[in-house]
């Protein structure tokens, strides 16, 4: 006989199973949740009315304005990806860095970082950069494994660089500001680029034949003409990205947001239309293709949300949240032990799942535990984002490797490549870059300042001065003499930064909505 205490582990095992069988996760997850809900009702663990809260739960999630930012940012990225920015930047950067050993590798890494802030889509970024750079790298004798590895890894940077869709989803699931999540991601994303560049530099010194320089006769632009082409591709896009991020407080040093993430995404989408028009490539096929792609991604997100909410409602109803909390909070090593286990778990799931699925299904189970353990949720979210970008690089299931495999075959059939790229070169070439991404995960875990240094600092209050001001205010109230210059307005200014925190501390803890529904249902049933 199955007891309620043993049911959450069985549900969690079923969750892992349905995510690995290959059927669309959204539908299999919803089916698992409904089946477990029917069984729980039959066992009397909660009344049938508890499942009646599901439609209202789903409607409440889908009416969240923050999720509107996803189609806006997706549309912006798709437009900028297809309007020729990648071609212009890779060509100019390749000629700028071409003379030095590893120059084409540096250009791919830098352009990958820039395009990551512009497009936000791994597939388009990997395909665009491979189409342009892979034939050039092969022509000038670059090592095949380095070439395929740097192209795939630079395409995955888009998951970490603001304004990443992953960070929007993580902010929503963790209940944190999108602007704060973007600020926290700047440190790891820049550090990721530096690690990749350092690897290229070391390789150019140890094995210079693997990353040779481009011959002088192959460089068609020189001087100001070359710099002009570089700036023409970078400056307009950079202005748009900084305007979008700055308006929502997503840049270090900007403490005020003048737009919500949804409004900033709408502004970015409109700016992408303008940039595409300036490049002379805004036409109906481009608009139709980008809108169709945006519709597919948005629909996928909605169905994953519905499926994950169905499972989560039943899981919380059978005390699954408490089981997860008890299991993870009692791990040896405290916070470090918890973070290591969570990252290993996410790393394993990333072999099989997309980042949307991990964020919507797994993160709601981990976030409350991390918060109760005193872990900063912005740091926690950025750390998981760094980990989840490896999902595109895992041999043999990494999507970036699949994209690279497909485009390399197409280029070979079209005659753009002198020889076929072997799958072994793609998979073996990805391993050093996955290890570098894992090094970054370890750095973020053990050096949290890589994330928190870019966040706004809380204002400290001098407690002695606060006590004096309270006495002065009491003296004024009792008609006694007060110090000159002291007023209640001064006290209000002093305590204003901490007012929300103190109010939250004094207010009773908010009850979990699902717990409240369950408790009220049980009370009604007992009265009857």
**What's the rounded mean pLDDT across residues 426-450?**
92
**What's the rounded mean pLDDT across residues 280-287?**
86
**What's the rounded mean pLDDT across residues 490-505?**
42
Kindly compute the dihedral angle of the four CA atoms of residues 40, 57, 358, 147, in this order, to the nearest 10 degrees.
150
List pLDDT tens digits, range 33-52.
999 999 999 988 888 888 88
| C-alpha to C-alpha distance for 109 and 361, rounded to whole angstroms | 32
Alpha helix stretches (DSSP H) within 119-164: 122-139, 144-156
pLDDT of 518 reads 54
Confidence category of residue 254, pLDDT binned at 50, 70, 90: confident
pLDDT of 507 reads 40
Q: Which residue has the higher pLDDT, 87 or 517?
A: 87
> What's the pTM?
0.77
Are the CB atoms for 515 and 509 separated by under 8 Å? Answer: no
Classified as helix, coil or strand, 47 is: coil
Alpha helix stretches (DSSP H) within 214-283: 223-247, 261-278
- Both tokens assigned to 2: 């199955």
Are the CB atoms for 128 and 86 separated by under 8 Å? Answer: yes
pLDDT of 440 reads 94
- Return the closest-CA partner of residue 361 out of 61, 29, 3: 29
Are the CB atoms for 452 and 379 separated by under 8 Å? Answer: yes
List the single range of 30-44, 221-235, 306-320 with lowest mean pLDDT.
Answer: 221-235
Using the structure block, give the residue that is written with the tokens 């791990």: 331
Are the CB atoms for 176 and 379 separated by under 8 Å? Answer: no
**What's the rounded mean pLDDT across residues 375-399?**
85
| C-alpha to C-alpha distance for 492 and 343, rounded to whole angstroms | 43
pLDDT of 519 reads 59
DSSP 219: -
pLDDT of residue 200 exceeding 80: yes
Integer distance in angstroms from the first to the last C-alpha of the chain? 28
Among 5-14, 164-173, 196-205, which range has the highest average pLDDT? Answer: 196-205
List the single range of 416-430, 477-491, 499-513 with lowest mean pLDDT.
Answer: 499-513
Omega of the bond leading into 163 within 30 degrees of 0 (cis): yes
Q: Which residue has the higher pLDDT, 332 or 467?
A: 332
- Return the closest-CA partner of residue 346 out of 303, 404, 378, 389: 389
Confidence category of residue 363, pLDDT binned at 50, 70, 90: confident
Average pLDDT, the chain: 80
Measured in residues, the chain has a length of 528
| C-alpha to C-alpha distance for 434 and 235, rounded to whole angstroms | 31
Kindly compute the dihedral angle of the four CA atoms of residues 155, 157, 161, 167, in this order, to the nearest 10 degrees.
100
List the single range of 96-110, 228-242, 447-461 with lowest mean pLDDT.
Answer: 447-461
| C-alpha to C-alpha distance for 121 and 398, rounded to whole angstroms | 14
Classified as helix, coil or strand, 93 is: helix
């Amino acid at each position: 006989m199955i007891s309620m205490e043993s049911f959450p582990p069985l549900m969690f095992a079923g969750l892992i199973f349905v995510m690995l069988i290959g059927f669309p996760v959204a539908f299999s997850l919803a089916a698992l949740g409904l089946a477990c809900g029917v069984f729980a009702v039959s066992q009397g663990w909660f009344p049938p009315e508890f499942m009646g809260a599901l439609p209202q739960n789903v409607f409440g999630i889908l009416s969240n304005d923050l999720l509107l930012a996803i189609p806006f940012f997706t549309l912006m990225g798709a437009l900028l990806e297809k309007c020729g920015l990648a071609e212009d930047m890779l060509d100019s950067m390749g000629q700028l860095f071409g003379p030095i050993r590893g120059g084409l590798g540096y250009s791919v890494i830098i352009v990958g970082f820039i395009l990551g802030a512009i497009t936000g889509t791994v597939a388009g970024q990997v395909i665009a950069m491979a189409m342009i750079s892979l034939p050039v790298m092969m022509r000038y004798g670059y090592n095949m494994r380095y070439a395929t590895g740097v192209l795939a890894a630079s395409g995955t940077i888009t998951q970490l660089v603001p304004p990443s869709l992953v960070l929007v989803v993580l902010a929503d699931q963790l209940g944190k500001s999108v602007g704060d999540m973007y600020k926290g991601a700047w440190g790891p994303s820049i550090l990721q680029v530096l690690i990749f560049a350092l690897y290229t530099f070391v390789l150019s010194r140890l094995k210079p034949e693997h990353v040779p320089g481009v011959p002088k006769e192959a460089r068609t632009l020189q001087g100001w003409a070359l710099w002009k082409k570089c700036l023409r591709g970078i400056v307009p896009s950079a202005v748009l990205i900084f305007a979008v991020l700055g308006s929502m407080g997503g840049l270090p040093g900007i403490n005020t947001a003048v737009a919500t993430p949804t409004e900033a995404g709408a502004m970015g989408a409109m700016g992408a239309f303008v940039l595409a028009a300036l490049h002379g490539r805004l036409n109906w096929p481009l608009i139709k293709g980008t809108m169709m792609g945006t519709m597919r991604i948005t629909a996928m997100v909605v169905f994953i949300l519905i499926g994950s909410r169905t499972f989560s409602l039943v899981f919380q109803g059978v005390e699954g949240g408490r089981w997860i909390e008890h299991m993870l909070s009692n791990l040896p090593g405290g916070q470090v032990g918890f973070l290591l286990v969570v990252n290993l778990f996410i790393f394993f799931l990333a072999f099989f799942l997309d980042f949307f699925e991990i964020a919507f299904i797994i993160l709601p189970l981990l976030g409350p535990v991390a918060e109760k353990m005193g872990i900063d949720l912005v740091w926690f979210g950025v750390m998981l984002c760094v980990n989840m970008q490896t999902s595109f690089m895992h041999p043999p299931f990494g999507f970036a490797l699949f994209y690279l495999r497909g485009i390399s075959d197409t280029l070979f059939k079209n005659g753009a490549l002198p020889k076929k790229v072997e799958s072994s070169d793609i998979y073996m070439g990805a391993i050093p870059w996955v290890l570098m991404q894992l090094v970054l995960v370890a750095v973020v875990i053990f050096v949290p300042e890589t994330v928190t240094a870019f966040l706004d600092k809380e204002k400290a209050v001098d407690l002695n001065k606060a006590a004096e001001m309270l006495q002065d205010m009491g003296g004024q109230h009792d008609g006694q003499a007060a110090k000159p210059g002291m007023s209640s307005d001064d006290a209000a200014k002093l305590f204003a930064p901490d007012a929300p925190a103190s109010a939250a501390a004094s207010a009773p803890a908010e009850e979990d909505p699902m717990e409240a529904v369950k408790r009220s249902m049980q009370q009604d049933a007992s009265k009857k």
